[in-house]
Each structure stands twice: as structure tokens, then as C-alpha cells.
Amino acid sequence: MKKATYQIIVNGEEKCYPAGTLFSELAREYQPQYEDDIVLVMFNNRLKELHKSLKADGELTFVTTRDRAGRKAYRRSVTFLMQRAVHNLAEEDGKTVSVRVEHSISQGYYCELTGETLDESYISRLKSEMQKLVEEKILIKKKSISTDEAVALFREFGMRDKERLFAYRRSSKVNIYSIGRYEDYFYGYMAPDTGYLKYFELELYEGGFVLLFPDKDTKTPSQFIPSNKLFHVLKESAEWGEKLDIGTIGALNDAIAQGRIRDVILVSEALMERKIGSMAEEIAAMPGKKFVMIAGPSSSGKTTFSHRLSIQMMALGLKPHPIALDDYYVDRVDTPKHPDGTYNFECLEALDIELFNRDMSALLAGERVELPIYNFRTGKREYKGKYKQLGENDILVLEGIHGLNDKLSYSLPKSSKLKIYISALTQLNIDEHNSLPTTDGRMIRRMVRDARTRNISARETIAMWGSVRKGEEQYIFPFQEEADIMFNSALIYELAVLKQYAEPLLFEIDKNCPEYLEAKRLLKFLDYFLPVPSEDIGKNSILREFIGGSCFGV
């Protein structure tokens, strides 16, 4: 028998509400207590949209646009708003116009239009149309339809990418969102109506435009800071996808289902090897470069990349020596700490900068130097006869998170250094309107590697990921545009391989754990992919660093 009222705990206070009370009503009641807009709720450790109603006793917390889940919902909703505005302008002009959301850049999404001339006049009209829709406070409705109905709907709308995506969907139901009569599928939750979506900006950029969102100040759109080098690496990766006719998950699944995946693997690896080879040729053409500095965020494949680059340099007559900057950690007792008392291994001060510069300057001067080896068990540097002396063709390949920061190598002449930024920038999209977050691919890589090599559970990897990301944003991303060369280590097929390793790890996470929500989201995400076995993946592949079997012993 259903109860007439339910007892819920809100912000530590027990309250009673009638059955069927909308979460949006509770959000309005408590909004004055929050600086940032409430867009979702967490009820009994489950995320809920505000149009849902109270159907049980439980504990409720509010999710604002400052929270990770709330920020994602806001960005997703503004993207949908932009699509609806493009659709409205196309109807008004009597044109057929489509928009593709390609990838993240700065604090926004880079988008491209077909069927329309993109200029300042159009951007101004588009922004005005979006603002008009915000003022109208149109409900963002959600309905569940069968997968077969969804495929037919997307075929009717000409959304070929979504049609292909759901052709492989095992779930029998698909959630469709609508703003008025405009409908689409989105991967994740939405804000309740367009009135919530006041903060955005549009900027023309490189033949398309960037849809900008707020960042730390949740009520001010971020200023657009172009990342030209990063953008062109992403564009090159998209061109690699075009060569394989694979730009979305649905297209990758087609290749798997049609038995073409072995060719996809071989061509993907060949393109990457050719890219690494061209880097080695570039280094060989600059004889003054003695230090190749490699940096990138977690799980970018830095170690395998440094080995493969070294092999390509050896083939050109150079003598590379890979060195991990981690060997220059200060002793554990001298390691800086976070405010909560835990060690801060990510900050620059965790390295012995003076010793590093003394050793590197001596090597550059032609001296014979004994280099340290860091013992992570004892937390101390050790010396075990690791001597180096640079000859005419010798090059040090230095790999670590601070490699691009000149404060690390302040004593070395800039002319002696070549900086390489590496990251796993996936070239796949879920479909034409849902980009695939690069950070998800890296987290899944790390999860699989941590479980294999460090006995760290998926729950622990998810729990520490926020701290990892914070360190990247502070110590790595600000320096990425200072790199001389950027390298994308993502392989177009890799998530279909990682799926079979990651899913069992994620299923182990208990439903009552705080990390369960993220595990559930990642499982839903991996469900889009058909699985691919690892037998055809070469022993020198960057993917082997994570799944095992690498010839480099990583």
C-alpha cells in the first residue's frame, strides 16, 4: 500500500512531504540556500532529474551546476538548446541545416554546420534564438521508447549516426528528450527546462564555432582561450578516422560486425607508427636537441611512447636514453602535503629540482654523471651505478608530468630542449551530438592498468580520479600549448578492447558505494561497444601498457 507522505532527510534535517511531490518543488524551496543553480538531486544514492517525484522515504541531497554531475547536465542541456535554435533558424530560412558537436576545446564544444554559411551574422542570430528559448522556459521532456522505434525515428530525422548506434543496442528502451517538437537522444541527464540555461557564449573558430559554458564561476560563460595546437591534433585524428570511415561508435561497431576490425587495428597502428617516425626524423634534423621532454596527463601512454620514439631515433643513428623524472622525487619525508595531510606527489616541489638541473647541466657539458633511481617502497633515492655521459648522438628522453614546465629545467638552454605533449584524445564520438569525453577513455585505461599491475580496484581508481584531474589541470594542461610537438595516443578501436577488461571490474562495485553512480555510467557507456579480442594487437602497441603483454615490460 502506498503511503500518503514520505519522510526524507534533507541537509541533515528530517522532513515530511506528500507522496508525488516533485523534486523541482523541493529544489525551489531550498534554492535560496545555494549560490549555484540546483539542476538534479541525489536521492538514496541515485541521481534523479527534477521532473521526477517523491515515491519513497530516503535521504536527499541537491546537485548544483558546481558539482560534476550538475555541470555535465548543464552542458548537455545547453547543447540541446543550441541544436533546437539551429533547427528553428533553418525552418525560418527554409533550409536543411545540420550541426555536429565534434569535441571539447577550452571550456566548450567545437561544432560545425552543414547547409549554412557560418559568419558573425549567423552566430548573432543563433545566440538571439537561444536566448529567446531560454526566456520561454520550455520544458525539457523525457520519454522512453523501444529501441526499434528509436532507430526508425532517427532514420526519419536523417540522424544516420544515431541509427547506426542503436542498431547494436542490447537494451530494449531508449530515452528521448524533447524541447517542444524537437527530439533527440542524449547520453545522460538534463536540466528541467530551458529557463535554467542562461549562461553560454558562442565564438567563431576555425571554420566552425565554439559553444562556451561556465567553469568555476557557474553564472559567467568562460572566456574562449584558443588551443590551436591541440585543435589541429584533434583535426588530424578526425582525418585518421575518415580514412577508416570510422567517426562514431556505430561506425566502429559496423566494422566489427562486418569482420573488418583486424584491418582497422593494423591501419590505426600503422598511422601511429608513421607519426612517431616523423617525430624522430624531426628530432634528428635538429642536432642541438639533447633533451626530449615528454609530458601528458594520466594514462596517456607516456612510457610506451617514449620507448617507441627511442626505437625510431635509434633507427636514424641516434642514441636515446629514456629517463623517468620520477627518479628525481625528493625523499618521502620531504614530500609536500595536501591540506588533508596526504602526500602531494603531483606538485613540482615533489621533485628535487636543484639536483635535476645539476645533473642535466653536467651531462650537457659532457661530464659523466651517476643518475638516481627512486625506490618507491622505501621512499628514498638510491644510487646503483646508473652512469650516463652524452656523446655527439646521445639524447636523453625525459618523461614525467612536469616535462613542459621550464621551472623544472630552468638551467638548460631552450635550444637544447624539445617538448612533446602526449594525451589520449579519442577521435570517436558517440554520435553527431554526443561527443566522447577524453577523460573517460583515460580513466578506463587507468582502471584496467591499476587492477592488473597495482592491485587497485576500480572503486579506488574512480575515488582518486578527481584528485588526479585536479593535478592535471594545475600542473599539465596550462603548459600544453608550449609543446613543440603534440601527439595523440588514442587508438580508434581501443574502447572496444578495453570493454572486456573494464566491465568485470566495474560490476564489482557495490551499489551502496559513492563510486557506484560513476561505475553505472561507465557500464552504460561501454554497452555501446561491440567487444574486440586483443589477439591482433601488436606487442609494442600503446594499448598493451594497459591490458598487458607489452614488449617493453610495462
Q: What type of residue sits at position 464?
A: M
What share of the chain has pLDDT > 90, as a percent? 76
DSSP string computed for 49-115: ETT-B--S-EEEEEEETTSHHHHHHHHHHHHHHHHHHHHHHHHHHT---EEEEEEEETTEEEEEEES
Neighbours of 170 (CB within 10 A): 7
8 Å CB contact between 147 and 175: no
Inform me whether the pLDDT recorded for 350 exceeds 80.
Answer: yes
Alpha carbons within 13 angstroms on the beta-carbon side of residue 172 total 0
Average pLDDT over residues 158-187: 86
Burial class (CB in 10 A: 0-12, 13-18, 19+), 377: exposed
Give the lowest-confidence range in 229-238, 288-297, 412-421.
229-238
- For the record, the C-alpha cell of 112 comes out as 560545425
Inform me whether the pLDDT recorded for 374 exceeds 60.
Answer: yes
- For 500-537, the pLDDT digits (tens) are 999 999 999 999 899 999 999 999 999 999 999 999 99
Give the lowest-confidence range in 132-136, 271-275, 427-431.
427-431
Residue 549 to residue 450: CA distance in whole angstroms: 15
| Residue among 299, 547, 540 nearest 438 (CA) | 299
Average pLDDT over residues 136-153: 92
Residue-averaged pLDDT of the chain: 93
What's the pLDDT at 240? 87
Inform me whether the pLDDT recorded for 127 exceeds 90.
Answer: yes
What's the pLDDT at 271? 93
Residue 301 to residue 542: CA distance in whole angstroms: 6
Q: E-assigned strands of 317-414?
A: 319-324, 369-370, 373-375, 380-382, 387-388, 394-399
8 Å CB contact between 542 and 495: no
Q: What type of residue sits at position 119?
A: D
Helix and strand numbers, DSSP H then E, in the chain: 15, 21
**Which residues are within 8 A (CB) of 478 and not within 5 positions of it... i.e. 6 or more apart?**
none
What's the pLDDT at 436? 83
Inform me whether the pLDDT recorded for 414 exceeds 60.
Answer: yes
Average pLDDT over residues 20-39: 96
The two beta strands, 58-64 and 38-43, are: antiparallel
Give the lowest-confidence range in 82-96, 336-350, 411-425.
336-350
**Looking up cell 528530517, which residue turns up?**
14
Inform me whether the pLDDT recorded for 1 exceeds 80.
Answer: no
Residue 270 to residue 192: CA distance in whole angstroms: 47
- For 386-405, the pLDDT digits (tens) are 999 999 999 999 998 899 99
8 Å CB contact between 547 and 532: no
Residue 305 to residue 545: CA distance in whole angstroms: 10
